[in-house]
Structure formats: C-alpha cells, structure tokens
C-alpha cells in the first residue's frame, strides 16, 4: 500500500525549533515526492506505449516506474526513521509515551502497532500516543493521526480515551478501562490529567472525586461502633440507682 504524500503539519519536530532537523526532514520528503512524480510519469508513458502496441517499451517504462517507487519508499522510510528518532530521543518523552509527529498516517499506524505489541509483551499497562491537535495540518485543523490511532486501537481490541491535552491518546494495553494514571506523561513533566472516577464520563467536564460520600460514611460507622458501649453504660447507671 502506498503512503499518501501529504505532510501532517507545518512542523515535524515537536519539541523545539531546530532548522537543521526540519531541513533534513523536508529534504528527504522532497526527494520522495520527486521519485513519486517520476514513477507516475513512467507508468503513464508505459500505458501509452502499451496502447500503441509497443509491449517492449511498455515493459521497460513499467520497470523504471517500479525503480522510482522503490526509491520513493526508501526516502520516506529514512524521513520517518529520522524524525522519529528526533522526537523520541531520551529525555524528550517519558518511557510510557510515543511521539508520532512528522509521520504519514500509514507510517504512524505501523510504528504504533509495533510499539503496542512490544509493550504488551513486556507487560506494560498503558501507552500515551502523542498525535498532535491538528492545528497546523495542511487541511485546516483536520486531525489525521488521531482517527487512525483510534481505528488501530479498535482493531486490536484496546480501549482508549482522549486526554485533557487533546493531542494525546491514552491506550490501555491490558484490555481494561482507559483511565490514565495520575502521574507520568510527557517530556519529563508530570501529567496534569486527573483520572475520572466511577460514574463520571471520561470525555469533557471536570472530574471531582466523591469525597463527600466518604466523609458521610465514616461518622456513620463510628456511631454504630459506639452504640453498644453507650447502652451498657446506661444500664449500669440504672442498676446502681435501683440498688
């Protein structure tokens, strides 16, 4: 399956401005697009040669198109690997997170599935997938990665939820409810997301723990525990008065 030649955002490097990194990434993608154009031209000329009855020329052009297709895929692979290393370098994301900025949709799907299966094999409980909010996407605020991540989770039978930071998706790797942990997260900082409590929705709204129910339960338990000693004291006083 071919990878769509669409850049997912104006900036592929997520963490800081680095013109050299962006330039190298853009250069690799540009080389891939050039090979894609050459591939298309060869296939079109091959089709015309075939229609003209020149089978040998048609086959030659078709082979040239396949060669350009292979080069295109190689340049895209290099770009994908390069930006992934930059965005996921040690210290830039936590161990339970993966940053998919700069990836084409099908590249992100492949990388994420590999990571999910590897983490599951290691017994990891969850994964934060950083997909971005789509604010800089070429189609005007249309998220491309997020729907694909959600689709992959459904295919793998995993539950997920959008975190308070809409550019992150929490994935439960063990099949349970997608309730993010209170700590951990991105770039070495603690995650500010507060997990929803039972009976509350996971999307939208403010999550407030049911503290009042706990406070009412404790006094009731204390009253019940002290009821019998209190009755005994009253009985002793009554007996003394009779005597």
Q: Nearest-CA neighbor of 162 among 196, 188, 139, 136?
A: 196
**Which DSSP category does 128 fall into?**
E
What are the backbone angles phi and psi of residue 143, rounded to the nearest 5°?
-75, 135
DSSP labels, 12-56: ---SS--HHHHHHHHHHHHHHHHHHHHHHHHHHHHHHHHHTT-HH
Strand segments (E) across the chain: 97-99, 126-130, 160-162, 168-172
Maximum CA pair distance of the chain?
127
Residues 130, 135, 136, 138: is their CA dihedral positive or negative?
positive
User: What pLDDT does residue 134 have?
Assistant: 61
Mean of the per-residue pLDDT values of the chain: 75
Whether the predicted pLDDT of 238 surpasses 80:
no
- Band (125; pLDDT cuts 50, 70, 90): very high
Tens of pLDDT, residue by residue over 175-188, are 888 887 664 443 33
Q: Mean per-residue pLDDT for 224-239?
A: 44
Class in CATH terms, 97-172? alpha beta
Domain ranges of the chain: 19-87, 97-172
Whether the predicted pLDDT of 30 surpasses 90:
yes
Q: Mean per-residue pLDDT for 107-114?
A: 96
Whether the predicted pLDDT of 214 surpasses 50:
no
Angle at CA of residue 91, ends 89 and 93, nearest 5°: 75
User: What pLDDT does residue 15 have?
Assistant: 62
């Amino acid at each position: 399956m071919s990878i769509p030649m669409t850049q997912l955002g104006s900036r592929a490097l997520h963490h800081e401005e680095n013109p050299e990194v962006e330039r190298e990434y853009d250069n690799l993608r540009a080389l891939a697009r050039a090979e894609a154009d050459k591939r298309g031209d060869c296939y079109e000329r091959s089709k015309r040669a075939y229609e003209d009855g020149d089978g040998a020329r048609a086959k030659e052009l078709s082979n040239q198109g396949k060669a350009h297709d292979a080069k295109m895929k190689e340049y895209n692979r290099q770009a994908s690997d390069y930006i992934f290393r930059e965005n996921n370098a040690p210290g830039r994301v936590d161990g339970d997170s993966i940053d998919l900025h700069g990836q084409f949709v099908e590249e992100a799907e492949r990388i994420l599935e590999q990571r999910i299966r590897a983490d599951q094999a290691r017994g990891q409980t969850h994964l934060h997938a950083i997909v971005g909010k789509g604010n800089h996407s070429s189609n005007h605020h249309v998220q491309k990665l997020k729907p694909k991540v959600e689709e992959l989770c459904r295919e793998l039978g995993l539950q997920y939820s959008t975190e308070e930071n809409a550019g992150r998706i929490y994935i439960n790797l063990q099949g349970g409810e997608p309730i993010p942990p209170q700590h951990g997260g991105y770039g070495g900082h603690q995650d500010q997301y507060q997990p929803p409590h039972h009976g509350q929705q996971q999307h939208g709204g403010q999550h407030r723990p049911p503290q009042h129910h706990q406070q009412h339960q404790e006094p009731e338990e204390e009253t019940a525990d002290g009821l019998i000693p209190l009755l005994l004291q009253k009985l002793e006083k009554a007996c003394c008065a009779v005597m």
